[in-house]
Structure 1
Amino acid sequence: MALILVTGASSGLGHATATELATQGHDVVVHARTPARVAAPASGGQWAGVVIGDLAETGEITDVARQAAAFGRFDAVIHNAGTMHTPEAATVNTIAPYLLMALMDQPSRLIYLSSSMHRGGSRGLAPLADGTASYSDSKLWVTALAMAVASQWKGTATHAVDPGWVSTRMGGPGATDDLAAGHQTQVWLATDDDITPPTGGYWYHQRTQDPHPAARDLKFQDRLLHALEERTGVRLE
């Protein structure tokens, strides 16, 4: 069985993902913003561990990485945590995954939550520093980050996932996609041994799609990594 970290696992897709993995018998460590937000697996039982911290605060991201490191090297990390609100969107959706990667041992698998809205994101990176990034911007950037890591980190299978527009607290009651299918691709990518392509996929309901062209643009990836290094003071090796 695998040791798996799921960020943003207090509710919605994150909680559903963590619960399904725990039901399968995996050791699941969940992240939540505060202790009060930690809910038990919907299937009963207990988590293998809990890490606490607000991913909208850079200092707390560092502490989350420290807490997670105490569990050892993860087999999979699912970067599920997200927000639609400016100015937190860039920090939670892009900077937090970047910093957690840079500060933790390299896992065997990495899964990043993207969104179909990443297609409306901007190639301009100034909002990453000044706090004006939109949700679409942050999701384009984290998708490009996933593609960059897939090409540069050998030995780690890395993918981005569009879970669909589903009826969670973030998605709202008017969402039209299948909520039950919203977490299944993440679970599959974290655990299955027969995935094609083995790394660098952009997925929607276990099928690959083409992301925004910028996500696979090597020059844009390099600019993004440089901007994230400047923003955080931490280099991704």
Structure 2
Amino acid sequence: MNIDLSGKTALVTGSTSGIGHAIAKGLAATGASVVVNGRTQAKVDAAAAGLAKAVAGAKVRGIAADVSTAAGCAALVAALPQVDILINNAGIFEPKGFLDIPDEDWSRFFDVNVMSGVRLARAYLPQMLKRNWGRIVFISSESALNIPQEMIHYGMTKTAQLAVSRGLAEMTRGTAVTVNSVLPGPTMSEGVETFVKDLAKQNGQSVEEAASQFVKQFRLTSLLQRFAGVEEIANMVVYISSKQASATNGAALRAEGGIVQTIG
């Protein structure tokens, strides 16, 4: 399959590192003009330069904006009025017991993980419908289906993304615009690697041992039995962003290594 997104503009939020950066790299390799986003100009510039170096002929630029706020989303849209492919990847996570999660954390997680995608979809979906082509992808999580007791606030936001995604897909009926979600499982991004390194230090283990123990203890139903690589998630996102994925709409696509025990 030859995925060619030449002539399309793709915005990937939270793409200075981790899954988002891998998605941006994958889309750049298909010929899309990729816009990297992060909160600081320095990180955005570094990420864009890295992609330009890694992908021959890449068309890439960076826009610094904090998409967790309405003002940040508005600034991003003002700097980038038209988008063909919107990847709502920006997100945060933090293991914390339910009784220790204050109100402000619930609001912060909802703003970053849910409202960023809501605001950007609200800005870009109408023009996609008008042009009769577009792709919106929400990067959710298997935690949307298996709410983790160690971070219920995170799981709540990931479930909310599925609801928003499916609802938006209903608005695309009869068009060539699609809205889907991708559900990664434990993935070895930079942020997760830091988390695993902390676990290893606390337990006197190697990083590999800590990662393996985490999967076996907290994601015991995993068929993959390891953390996924960021490229493995990006591959799914690049496909669902492609012209070839025209019949996939309103779906929650699992890339979680078989953690969720269902045939659906």
After superposition, the C-alpha distances for 1:98-138 in whole angstroms (9 at most, x for unaligned) are 0111123443111000101112559xxxxxxxxxx811111
1:84 paired residue among 93, 97, 108: 93
2:70 and 2:91 mapped to 1: Cα distance?
14
Matched, 1:183 2:234: yes
Q: Secondary structure at the match of 2:91?
A: coil
Q: Give TM-score, length-normalised by structure 1.
A: 0.74
Q: Which amino acid aligns with 1:33?
A: R
1:202 and 1:18 mapped to 2: Cα distance?
20
Alignment of 1:26-41 (within 5 A): 26-38=32-44, 39=47, 40=49, 41=51
Q: Secondary structure at the match of 2:34?
A: strand
Kindly, what percent of the aligned residue pairs are identical?
23
- Larger C-alpha radius of gyration, 1 or 2? 2
Matched, 1:193 2:202: no
1:53 paired residue among 41, 65, 68: 65
1:149 paired residue among 168, 190, 193: 168
More off after superposition, 165-174 vs 29-38: 165-174
Q: Is the 8 A contact 1:202 1:210 kept in 2?
A: no
Q: Structure 1's 208 and 159: CA in aligned 2 closer, same or farther, altered over 3 A?
A: farther
Alignment of 1:61-80 (within 5 A): 61-69=73-81, 72=82, 74-80=83-89
Q: 1:46: Cα distance to partner?
A: 5.1
1:188 and 1:206 mapped to 2: Cα distance?
16
Matched, 1:103 2:126: no
Matched, 1:135 2:154: yes
Q: Secondary structure at the match of 1:140?
A: helix
Q: Secondary structure at the match of 1:183?
A: helix
Q: Is the 8 A contact 2:121 2:136 kept in 1?
A: no
Aligned residues between the structures:
199
1:95 and 1:194 mapped to 2: Cα distance?
26
- Give structure 1 regions of 4+ aligned residues with deviation exceeding 4 angstroms: 44-47, 206-212
Q: Is the 8 A contact 2:142 2:256 kept in 1?
A: no
Q: Structure 2 regions of 5+ residues with no counterpart?
A: 1-5, 95-104, 129-133, 197-210, 216-225
Q: Structure 1's 206 and 145: CA in aligned 2 closer, same or farther, altered over 3 A?
A: same
1:109 and 1:189 mapped to 2: Cα distance?
8
